[in-house]
Structure 1
Amino acid sequence: MRQKLTLATAIFSLLFSCQLLAKPTAELTAAKQTGIALYNQYKMVPAIQHLTIAAKGGDAESQYYLAESIRNTKRYMTEEAQHWYEESANQNNIYAMIQLGRSGDNLCINMGNCPKSTKTPAQWLKGALDLTKPAAESGDPEAMYLMYELTLKDEWLEKSANSGHALAQYWMAIGTRQGDGFLLPWKRHEAVGNWLKLSAEGGYPPAMMEYAAFIYEDQGDLAVARHWIIEAAQKGYKSGISSYGAYSAHSPSLYDFPLDRIKGYALTSLLSELDGGGDVQVYVNETLSEIAEKMTSEEISEANEFAKNWKATHPPLSFFPDKLSR
C-alpha cells in the first residue's frame, strides 16, 4: 500500500538515507553493493573487506552493515563494531541507534570488556525513538515497524502490517500462528494465510516460501504455490532456489513441477556459491549427484550454461537475514 508522503515521513526518509557523500564514487558504490550481498550470504569476513571501503567513505548504511558483520563474527560488541555503529548512528541511522541501545544486553557485559560509548544504551534508544515516532505517527510503515522494535508494543507491529510493510506482515503471520491474539482456530488459520499472502505480494521472499507451504498443506491451488516458489527463487532467496531446483528435477517431486532436470541441476549448482556462508555444500553435492545420474554429459553442459545465464540476470543469492540481527 502506497503511503501519502507527509513532511514527517519525508524527514524520516532523509534521515534514514543519511549519506555523507552526495555523489559516491563508482568504487564506493560497488564496494557497498558487494559487501551487503556477501553479508546477506553470511560471508562476514569478505563482507568486512568490501564494507570497510564504503564505510570509510562515509556511507552510513555501509557503516551499519560493517558493524553488524564485525559483531556477528566476534559474537559480541567489540570496540571496532561499536565505532562503526556510532559513525552510522551519528548520521541518524535508526538501525544503528537501536543496536547501540541493545548493547546493554551484550555478551561483552558478562565478559567485562564492553567498549566505552559516547552515550548510554538508554540515550541511544531515546534518540532513535525521538526520530522515529513522528514519522510513525504520520503513517510511515517502516517507522511503525521500528517503533515496534523500540517499544515491543504489538499495536505498532499491527499498524505497520496494516499499512503495507511486508516484514511486519510476515511477523504478524508468525505471531498469529504461534498463538498471539484471541482468535478461533479456523479464524487463526485463515489469518495466518492472509498475512503471509500480503507479505508475499509485498515482495518478502521468506513469506513467499511460507505461503507456498501454507497452500500446499492446505491442499490449495498448487499453481499458485509454484508461482511463489519461483518468485522467491527469482529474487535470489536461498530456499526458493533450492526448492525450485529440487522440485524441477523431481528430487523430490513436489508441488507438481514439470520435470526439467537441466533447470533443476543448474539451480542447485548455483548454491555452491554459498559454501562457507550457510553450510549448504553437503546438500548441493548430494542433490547434484542424484540428478546427474539421470542426465547425459550434454545435458549437464547445457545446465551449466543455464546456471551462468541465471546468475547474470538475477539478484545475488541471499538468506535474507533480518536487518536488525540479535
Structure 2
Amino acid sequence: MQPHTDDLTAFFNMLKSLTALIAELNVLQENARNKGLELYNLGSFRASEPYLNIAAAGGDRAAQYALAEVLRRQQGSITEDAKKWYRLAAAQEDVYALLRLGDSASLDKARQLLPPRIAQGDGEAMLQMYELTKDITWLKKSAGKKFPEALYILALEYDRDNSLVPTGQTPSEAIDRLLQMGAAANFPLAMNWYTNRPQVTQFPSLRREWLEKTAALNDLYGVLKYGYALGHDSEGRDPEYGYAKSYPFSYGLIWLVVNSATEYQLHKSASVFLADLGKEMSQKEIDLALGFAQTWKDTHPPLSENRLTYHGI
C-alpha cells in the first residue's frame, strides 16, 4: 500500500518542525550556559544557578561542574545534590569533578586519565596530578610548562612554606619570578599580586601599567582597584598609584562592578564609594561616566573574579 501524499507531507512538516524546535532548544541551552558561566565566574553564585541548571541538564560538562561547585559553596560541603552533578561531569572525564568526588573509584579513574595527557606535555594535567597526589614535584613540572594557575599556586606554596624554595634562591626572588611569568601570561591573580610586589611598587609607572593591564582583562578586582585609584584624593594625585583624579572614569568603572557583581564581597564598600563619588559630580559628568561604562562593557570580555579552577576553593 502506497503512503498517501498528504500523509508524507504532514510527516515531513512534522520533522521540519521538530528539527526547528531542537535547534531552538540548543540555542536556549547555549545561551543559558554562557550566562550561567559568566555569572559563576563573576562570583554571582545564586544568580548563576538557574542558568547552570538548564545547561547542566542538557549535558554540558562545564555547567555540570560549575553547578556542583555552586551547591558545594552554598552548603559548605559536598552534598548529594552536588555529587549528582559532579558524577555527571566526571562521566565526561572531568578530572576536577573526579577529584571533588574523592572516592577510590573516582581517583583511580583520574590516575588513568592523566598519564596520556602528561606524556603530551599538558601543563594542566600536571597540575591535576599535583592536586591528586599532593606531590609538589608535579606542581613544579606544571609551572615549568608555564601553566598560569600552576605558577600562581607554586608562588602561594613558596609563600606559605619557605623551605620549599629551591636552593640558591630567596623566597622573595622565587615568588617574584613565578608571579612575573604568571603576569606575563595575563593571569589576573598573578597580575594583582605582582603589582603589589616591592620590585614593582618602587616604580609607580610600572605599577600603573600592570594595574591597567589587569583592568583591561576585566578582572573584577583589577577594575575596582583602577576605579578607586582614579577616584580617590580630591586634592591631588592618588597616593597609591599616582593617578590624577578622573571622576567620570572612576564612576564608570565602579558602577560596572556595583551593577554587575551584586554578590561580590566588596560590593557594599564599592556601593558606598560610588554614592559618595556621585555627590561630587554633576549630572552631565554622571551621564558621561555611564556612557564610558557601556563602551567599556562592549569592548572588553565579561567581568570575572578569575578564581582558581579547583585549588583552595
Is TM-score (shorter-chain normalized) higher than 0.5?
yes
Deviation at 1:223, TM superposition (A): 2.1
Summarize the Cα distance change of 1:216–1:285 in structure 2 as closer, same or farther, 3 Å threshold.
farther
- For residues 263-294 of structure 1, what are the alpha-carbon distances to aligned partners after superposition, in whole Å with 9 as ceiling and x for unaligned? 11111111113554123232123222343343
- For residues 133-180 of structure 1, what are the alpha-carbon distances to aligned partners after superposition, in whole Å with 9 as ceiling and x for unaligned? 231233111101101100101111111001110111011222222314
- Is 1:149 matched with 2:131? yes
- The residue that corresponds to 2:178 in the other structure is 195
- The residue that corresponds to 1:28 in the other structure is 29
- The residue that corresponds to 2:271 in the other structure is 285
- Is 1:177 matched with 2:126? no
Summarize the Cα distance change of 1:272–1:133 in structure 2 as closer, same or farther, 3 Å threshold.
same
- The residue that corresponds to 2:254 in the other structure is 268
- The residue that corresponds to 2:109 in the other structure is 127
Deviation at 1:311, TM superposition (A): 1.6
CA distance in 1, matches of 2:119, 2:164: 23
Q: Secondary structure of the residue that 2:114 maps to in structure 1?
A: helix
- The residue that corresponds to 1:37 in the other structure is 38
- For residues 176-199 of structure 1, what are the alpha-carbon distances to aligned partners after superposition, in whole Å with 9 as ceiling and x for unaligned? 223142468973212211110100
- Is 1:253 matched with 2:239? yes
Contact persistence 1:238–1:319 (CA under 8 A): yes
- The residue that corresponds to 2:122 in the other structure is 140
Which has the greater radius of gyration? 2
* Number of equivalences: 285
- The residue that corresponds to 2:301 in the other structure is 315
Q: 1:170 corresponds to which letter in structure 2?
A: Y
% identical equivalent positions: 30
- The residue that corresponds to 1:302 in the other structure is 288
CA distance in 2, matches of 1:180, 1:206: 23
Contact persistence 1:266–1:303 (CA under 8 A): yes
- The residue that corresponds to 2:47 in the other structure is 46
Summarize the Cα distance change of 1:305–1:201 in structure 2 as closer, same or farther, 3 Å threshold.
same
Q: 1:144 corresponds to which letter in structure 2?
A: M
CA distance in 2, matches of 1:283, 1:98: 36
Contact persistence 1:216–1:222 (CA under 8 A): no
- The residue that corresponds to 1:58 in the other structure is 59
Summarize the Cα distance change of 1:309–1:97 in structure 2 as closer, same or farther, 3 Å threshold.
same
Contact persistence 1:60–1:88 (CA under 8 A): yes
Query: Any gaps of 5 or more consecutive residues in structure 2?
Result: 1-21
Deviation at 1:233, TM superposition (A): 1.3
Contact persistence 1:43–1:276 (CA under 8 A): yes
Aligned-residue Cα RMSD (Å) equals 2.3
Q: 2:96 corresponds to which letter in structure 1?
A: Y
Deviation at 1:253, TM superposition (A): 3.3
Q: Secondary structure of the residue that 1:34 maps to in structure 2?
A: helix
Contact persistence 2:180–2:190 (CA under 8 A): yes
Q: Which moved more, 1:81-90 or 1:313-322?
A: 313-322
Q: Secondary structure of the residue that 2:197 maps to in structure 1?
A: helix
CA distance in 1, matches of 2:214, 2:36: 22
CA distance in 2, matches of 1:86, 1:186: 43
Summarize the Cα distance change of 1:309–1:180 in structure 2 as closer, same or farther, 3 Å threshold.
farther
Query: Any gaps of 5 or more consecutive residues in structure 1?
Result: 1-20, 102-120
CA distance in 1, matches of 2:74, 2:215: 27
